[in-house]
Structure 1
Amino acid sequence: MWYAGIDWADTHHDALVIDEKGRQVGSLRVDHSPQGMSKLNAFLEQIIGTAPKEQMACIIETTHGLLIAHLLEVGWPVYPVNPRTVDRRRSASGAKTDTIDAYLLAKTGRADFADLHRLTPDSEKVAELKLLTRDQDALIQTQTRLVNQLTACLKAYYPVALELFTKVQQHTTLVFLQTYPTPQAAESASTDQITQVLKKAGHPNPLGVAPKIVERLQQPHLQADAVITRTKSRLMLALVGQLLPLLAQIAQYDKEIATLFLTHEDHEIF
């Protein structure tokens, strides 16, 4: 019997395998991509050799997502664990890296295997979750591309806008940019006007944030000439026009995925 601790992340996954005696037999990091999933599958198959896949217990801190869907699809037994269980082991070790987390997951699987509950795929629900998460992943990749374009665009003519909010990919930021597409437009707005824009956009603290935005806009900051401002503000509005509905759709996917997840028999693990 082998125990594969898999520490998952948005961009990569770390796997570490131990045997029944607790000896490490292999580890690797793979990208969160089709190629990475294939590499992970080949890594696990190489370790078990001719033994059945049932002899490789995959221990992981989640019950959904593309990684889980892939592991189930190719037939690996998946045993989700409560993150708090691993946190306790992590606190005892006093260290944290992705590789250490993968080892702690494998160690948890070996120590508590009799108490773990194997994730059993419900064909219809898992298939739908797989498709929803895959489609959402594609939308998130599109969002990332558009955000990168928008950030580059703002740096070219409106860099102060990047200092006004914690992140670009949020409704409040995008509505602000739509309302004030140039630094000149933002500078001419009053505190009350910006407060109302933030409030309408759903900002949690418009009264507290608006004065800070006005203060920063009144301080010296880099600005482009009229030609660059006209052309880049047009591009900015085009990008924002794509991002706003995309953010809403990604949020809707989150709700649908969460609803399906809660109807799965294993959701109570968490």
Structure 2
Amino acid sequence: MTLFCGIDWAEVHRDLAVVDSAGKLMAKKRVNEDVDGFAELTGLLAELGDTAEDPIPVSIETPRGLLVAALRATGRPVFAINPMAVARYRERHSVSRTKSDHADAMTLANILRVDAHMHRRIPADSDLAQAVAVLARAQQDAIWRRTKASNELRDASRVLPDLP
């Protein structure tokens, strides 16, 4: 039986759904993004028949992060699906237009089930490429922190009274 996993990315947790080739929900779970959450995720996949020889492919809305890096390190095929594509797919299949983490995890799994050939698997990176990615992310975070601090300083100076 062919299975597909979708993981919805939220602020403090991850919702996952596993569907079979017919789109039937085989499992759903909410996990934290920590070591215990990753263990729960891989344990659930193993219960469903995930093996090193035949791993269950995973779709997720981001190509980066600790969870994505850990999934890629297992050799599992991971597909990053653009969040706008997920939103458009959700609109095609849901009348209510409401967003839920579980529904998005199901949507991600079904996107992979139906249209895997239309999406690119995240390629394996060399150690050098991974190091560059980490440094680039650190630089971007530093720029965002600097901009935030600058904006806060500017806003604080506007409320201070003029001194003689």
Range into which the TM-score falls when normalised by the shorter chain: 0.7 to 0.9
Identical pairs, percent: 31
Check whether the contact 1:17–1:106 (CA below 8 A) recurs between aligned residues: yes
Q: TM-score, normalised by structure 1?
A: 0.49
- 1:101 equivalent in alignment to 2:104: yes
> Distance in 2 between the 1:39 and 1:132 partners?
29
Normalized per residue, the structure richer in strand is 2
| Residue in 1 that maps onto 2:84 | 84
| Residue in 1 that maps onto 2:117 | 114
The aligned amino acid for 2:158 is A
Count of residue pairs brought into register by the alignment: 149
| Residue in 1 that maps onto 2:29 | 28
Query: SS of the residue aligned with 1:3?
Result: strand
Check whether the contact 2:77–2:121 (CA below 8 A) recurs between aligned residues: yes
| Residue in 1 that maps onto 2:142 | none
Structure 1 unmatched ranges of 5 or more: 137-169, 174-197, 215-270
Check whether the contact 1:65–1:130 (CA below 8 A) recurs between aligned residues: no
- 1:210 equivalent in alignment to 2:133: no
| Residue in 1 that maps onto 2:149 | 171
TM-aligned CA distance change 1:47 to 1:15, over 3 Å: same
Normalized per residue, the structure richer in helix is 1
| Residue in 2 that maps onto 1:16 | 17
1:22-71 Cα shifts (integer Å, max 9, x gaps): 111001111111111111111111112558333x1101111111111010
CA RMSD in angstroms, aligned pairs only:
2.9
TM-aligned CA distance change 1:122 to 1:49, over 3 Å: closer
> Distance in 1 between the 2:132 and 2:14 partners?
20
> Distance in 2 between the 1:103 and 1:3 partners?
10
- 1:41 equivalent in alignment to 2:19: no
Deviation at 1:90, TM superposition (A): 2.2
Query: SS of the residue aligned with 2:48?
Result: helix
Query: SS of the residue aligned with 2:57?
Result: strand
| Residue in 1 that maps onto 2:143 | none
> Distance in 2 between the 1:101 and 1:90 partners?
7
TM-aligned CA distance change 1:118 to 1:50, over 3 Å: closer
Greater radius of gyration (CA): 1
Q: TM-score, normalised by structure 2?
A: 0.77
Check whether the contact 1:69–1:126 (CA below 8 A) recurs between aligned residues: no
> Distance in 2 between the 1:49 and 1:42 partners?
9
The aligned amino acid for 1:34 is V
> Distance in 2 between the 1:68 and 1:129 partners?
16
Q: Which has the higher relative contact order, 1 or 2, with Cα contacts under 8 A spaced 6 or more apart?
A: 2
Structure 2 unmatched ranges of 5 or more: 139-147
Deviation at 1:123, TM superposition (A): 2.1
Equivalent residue runs for 1:189-208 within 5 Å: 201=153, 203=154
> Distance in 2 between the 1:87 and 1:120 partners?
24
1:175-211 Cα shifts (integer Å, max 9, x gaps): xxxxxxxxxxxxxxxxxxxxxxx7xx4x3x68xx825
